[in-house]
Amino acid sequence: MLLAILVLPLLAAGALWSVPAVIGDRLAAAYGSVISGLVLVGSVLLWPQNGGWFAYGPQDEPRTEIDVAWIPSLGVRFHLGVDSISVPLIVLTALLTFLCCLYSLKITPRIGRTRSLIALLLVIETGVIGTFSALDLVLFFVCFEIVLIPMWLVIDIWGDHHDPAGRKRAANTFVLMTVFGSALMLLGFLLVQRVAGTLDIVELTSSPVRGGHGIPLVAALLIAVGLAVKVPLWPLHIWLPDAHAKAPTVGSVLLAGVLLKLGTYGMIRILVPVLPDATATIAPYLGAFSTVAIVAGSLACLAQTDVKRLIAYSSVGHMGFIGLGISTLSPAGLRGALFANIAHGLITGLLFFLAGAIKDRHDTSDLRTIGRALYARLPRIAALLTFACLASLGLPGLAGFWGEMLVLLGAYHPAPWLPRTTFLVFMVIAGLGTVLTAAYFLRLVRNLCQGDPAENPPAAFAVDLSRIELVTWAPLITLTVLLGVWPGLLLQQWGAL
């Protein structure tokens, strides 16, 4: 099943490219929807039958689907498998891709060429699912990189049509920074291999590389920096606002909803279990940078004038929470990070959909140009935006809360070998960060949705929520509420983390 959902989109993308361009954009989107829908079904079938199966230790094996030698001379294996950490993320990926394809049925970037866009989305899906299911460090690296070129194309071709130079720069910065980071990560992997003699994650997890200094520390640092670029952690986040702001709607959704998770997933999957001692050494610094990210991201949001950039910066803050959760190395913190991963994917995906919808209607994402009083002009979209903002600022009862809460709980009670006082300081600062988060989202709502309708004439052709938008966004809204009121849905999966 796993292999099927990996290969299916890839083959489908190939097929889509090989057919001549005569097939219409609608048909291509429908085709993409069907394929990604199948993948979604498949990924849901991966969902564990009974909870609490997870291999962070030697006691349980992850559900391995495939394990064959790939390049024996380099010690690389083609080893795929899933466990409760990866399955929710895979489902999230499949869901968001499906929704993006569905969205493309009606709403596509102005540049056109939807056929290629759909194909690229499918390739991205393969890469991301591959990363989430890779159990070999090199395979992880490979899948990690698969995503880059398609995403680069998506930003470079379908990006903001007002600013060709800007979107090119954004795409290049994105891809180059990530590649540099992942090259460093690869170095870290190789150091791990030199010490441990294997690249297999399962083996490495059951017999981790001990020692918090010397080569393990260097390896951990390299891996952490590589993943931090992807996360992205302050101060390596500089690629993110541009990339998100310039990307087309579906690109932003996937970028924020899925791609950012690769970094945090890598930390949880590789850094923490494989290099436990070295990770403990760097954890306070990771936590510090994450905390700075939370505050800096929120502060930057407060001064943004572009709605997509604002949401992008908000991702910096949210990913900071996830980083902080990981750095606590505690059960609560790690679970919080995992939960926040999913929640952020749903909520920020929704936010970018909404921002895209607003941008499409006004042909700009600049707050001042869009004007205010969206409540009057686009009441439904504005209401959904408010909802998404509330969810994103971590309102209890919605999905965003539990991740942040568990992260803070983890910071209150970090792993015993970490300096507790430091993490208490992080917790307090992060807590204040949540207030700042609320502040900028309220500012967004205030500047965008509220205001005197008389002074803000409605844009021409501005139609409120269309049917396709409702259909694509409904699952995200539903899941946001569902996970908000029933966090156990996910938390129960991570039995013995």
Residues facing residue 71 across a β-bridge = 76
What distance in Å separates the CA atoms of residue 281 and residue 271, rounded to the nearest whole number? Answer: 12
Residue 425 lies near another protein (rule: CB under 8 A): no
**Residue 242, helix vs strand vs coil:** helix
Residue 462 lies near another protein (rule: CB under 8 A): no
- Picking from 280, 288, 278, 181, the residue whose alpha carbon sits closest to that of residue 237 is 181
Residues 213-232 as x/- pattern, contact with another protein by CB under 8 A: -----x--------------
How far lies 275's CA from each of 254, 266, 285, in Å?
Answer: 30, 12, 16
User: Residues 272, 405, 407, 479: which binds another protein (CB under 8 A)?
Assistant: 405
Distance of closest approach, residue 105 Cβ to another protein, in angstroms: 24
User: Residues 64, 198, 364, 450: which binds another protein (CB under 8 A)?
Assistant: 450
User: Residues 37, 212, 331, 458: which binds another protein (CB under 8 A)?
Assistant: 331
Residue with smaller CB distance to another protein, 412 or 473: 412
Residue 38 lies near another protein (rule: CB under 8 A): no
Residue 15 lies near another protein (rule: CB under 8 A): no
User: Residues 397, 419, 457, 474: which binds another protein (CB under 8 A)?
Assistant: 397
Site for another protein in 465-494 (CB under 8 A): 485-488, 491-492
Residue 31 lies near another protein (rule: CB under 8 A): no
Residue 68 lies near another protein (rule: CB under 8 A): no
Task: Decide: 47 and 137 in contact? Cβ < 8 Å.
Answer: no
Token duo for residue 176 = 């180059």
**Residue 80, helix vs strand vs coil:** strand
Residue 296 lies near another protein (rule: CB under 8 A): yes
User: Residues 15, 19, 23, 435: which binds another protein (CB under 8 A)?
Assistant: 435
List, as own/partner pairs, every contact residues 373-377 make where C-beta atoms lie below 8 angstroms and the sequence separation is at least 24, other chains included.
Answer: 373/449, 373/450, 373/451, 373/452, 373/453, 373/455, 373/456, 374/448, 374/449, 375/449, 375/450, 375/453, 376/453, 376/456, 376/458, 377/453, 377/456, 377/458, 377/459, 377/462
Residues 246-285 as x/- pattern, contact with another protein by CB under 8 A: ----------------------------------------
Residue 375 lies near another protein (rule: CB under 8 A): yes
Which segment (94-102, 168-176, 244-252, 353-361) binds another protein by CB under 8 A?
168-176
Residue type at 320 in one-letter notation = G
DSSP 457: P
Residue 69's H or E segment, with its range, is strand 63-71
Residue 383 lies near another protein (rule: CB under 8 A): yes
Residue 238 lies near another protein (rule: CB under 8 A): yes
User: Residues 22, 49, 50, 72: which binds another protein (CB under 8 A)?
Assistant: 72
How far lies 142's CA from each of 7, 50, 187, in Å?
Answer: 15, 31, 13
